[in-house]
Structure 1
């Protein structure tokens, strides 16, 4: 006769694996970040101005750190929670059909661009953002160069979003059986923010601000922008639109703050762009709309995999 307890052993172990997986992921992702940033931390590096150019050493350290979440997600998917292709598990595919994928990718660029423009408009109206003179000829050239920069930097942002949107958020959402979705958003947003702790200690995102001001500000920023990335991932069934949105927020959005500002004015990210309170207002408004209209819901029992031919996400048995 078959032993019922032996038959049920894999099913009993699966919840344990699901709880262990995110913990292992966070340990590896954060350890990778601290190791990658250690040369800057040990050298006493400190960013003093938002207009300060990034050194070669800083660029190398940042690039290495950005691959840590993807490495963590792949290792966990292969070793801690095996059972399927990594590509499928992390939603690493082109959104289907092809035309829908193009539109989803364009949304990944257009949405953060609109949020940034709205944040700058609010900051200007409030007197917090020193808007300079706009010359459309030079702006078009700048926009073209920034688009090239986004495309070139995409591998780095795949390094981040394969971890946050490809692995962590779907697993936290699935672990709650669909009933703890808000917790999944909050935990992923906080984990995403605190992963940046080494750079925050060096004034990376908020130069000139002490850690006890920059860390709470980063928590707010990441908690509000992460659902936007998640929405782009949910509506496409792929991490690619979220990767594009993250690349825009971290490069073009920051560039817009500098490019549109009075060149002689000091820039304080806490009061400008998506990382400051104007950005919190516009991001919070969009997230509220997405939540009220049901666009932030996920399949309750499994991470999102590929889209169906109609473009809607499909689920696998959890």
Structure 2
């Protein structure tokens, strides 16, 4: 039976959202403060991060999850954080495998399309693919992502587990457009400290990198949300985010001429080729209705049908 939901009482709902955003943003700025105060700046896309940078990044990535858990447990008091934030494996296990595979394959395909567009436009210095070294690089990249995967739970428990469902409201068209736009914008502006240090767009001033990051995040956010909706879990969104933030960047470096300059604004998923590829895919998802969640009541087991979003705590379901 299809169900609708009533909105949270405005003071309660707004308080939770404001607390979440405040803690997530303060956590990011606090984690990055050692680098900001030390004058760190990344000027080259090939520059590797040091130990201090890695520690600060890891701490920052945990902030959205901590903010979401804090709000669910202390502000909304609506149930177990694990259930509320969809921190569960898709069931049955065959669905888990397919969902995780899709979360890997789609960003890989979008990155490949972006690199092809950049090459055709003469902006990406493609050197070709070496079969002998590709397997070793891919194995190392996958292993590295598995090690760092818990950090990406830190982000997606906040953006996909908490913020997007709250903003999506009753799932109407206007509410969904609002949810996608605001969540994508909040996701992008949360990266402001790293953008000021040249993190995602090294060598670019903030007035270029910030708008570019806004476009990138608003476009890629629906892809992560789609992965979350089709599985009923944040896990595939976590895997997709990990690929985009790490392996996609690694592909740009791996397949480029070793001595060529790399400008993320003109290559990969964070540049205009990626915007075209991701925008086309998101348009397909929207036109086929794959970005519209259906709200269902919780079953007796506490789980939801795969592909449907949780009714946020504090909302009451009633049949239409």
| Range of TM-score over shorter length | over 0.9
Kept in 2: contact 1:22–1:168 (CA 8 A) = yes
* Structure 2 residue 222 is the aligned partner of structure 1 residue 227: yes
Residue segments in structure 1 that go unaligned for 5+ positions in a row = 1-10
* Structure 2 residue 253 is the aligned partner of structure 1 residue 288: no
1:255-275 C-alpha deviation (Å, 9 max, x unpaired): 000000000100000000000
The alignment of Structure 1 onto Structure 2 pairs a total of residues equal to: 305
* Structure 2 residue 107 is the aligned partner of structure 1 residue 112: yes
CA shift, 1:176, in A, is: 7.0
CA shift, 1:307, in A, is: 3.4
Distance (whole Å) between structure 2 residues aligned to residue 302 and residue 129 of structure 1: 48
For structure 1, which segment, 192-201 or 132-141, has the greater mean C-alpha deviation from structure 2 after superposition?
Answer: 132-141
Structure 2 residue aligned with 1:52: 47
What secondary structure sits across from 2:9 in the alignment?
helix
Kept in 1: contact 2:104–2:243 (CA 8 A) = yes
Distance (whole Å) between structure 2 residues aligned to residue 262 and residue 302 of structure 1: 53
Structure 1 residue aligned with 2:304: 307
Alignment root-mean-square deviation, CA: 1.8
CA shift, 1:313, in A, is: 2.4
* Structure 2 residue 216 is the aligned partner of structure 1 residue 216: no
What is the TM-score normalised by the length of structure 1? 0.92
Distance (whole Å) between structure 2 residues aligned to residue 80 and residue 193 of structure 1: 25
Kept in 2: contact 1:290–1:296 (CA 8 A) = yes
Structure 2 residue aligned with 1:5: none
Distance (whole Å) between structure 2 residues aligned to residue 127 and residue 314 of structure 1: 42
Distance (whole Å) between structure 1 residues aligned to residue 105 and residue 209 of structure 2: 27
What secondary structure sits across from 1:127 in the alignment?
coil
What is the TM-score normalised by the length of structure 2? 0.91
CA shift, 1:169, in A, is: 0.4
Q: 187, 191, 197: which is aligned to 1:192?
A: 187
For residues 125 and 289 of structure 1, do their structure 2 counterparts lie closer, same or farther at Cα, with a shift above 3 Å needed?
same
Kept in 1: contact 2:219–2:275 (CA 8 A) = yes
Residue segments in structure 2 that go unaligned for 5+ positions in a row = 1-5
1:46-66 C-alpha deviation (Å, 9 max, x unpaired): 001000010110000000000
Structure 2 residue aligned with 1:135: 130
Structure 1 residue aligned with 2:234: 239
What secondary structure sits across from 2:286 in the alignment?
helix
Summarize the alignment of residues 145-294 of structure 1 with structure 2, pairs less than 5 Å apart: 145-174=140-169, 179-294=174-289
What secondary structure sits across from 1:67 in the alignment?
helix
* Structure 2 residue 30 is the aligned partner of structure 1 residue 41: no
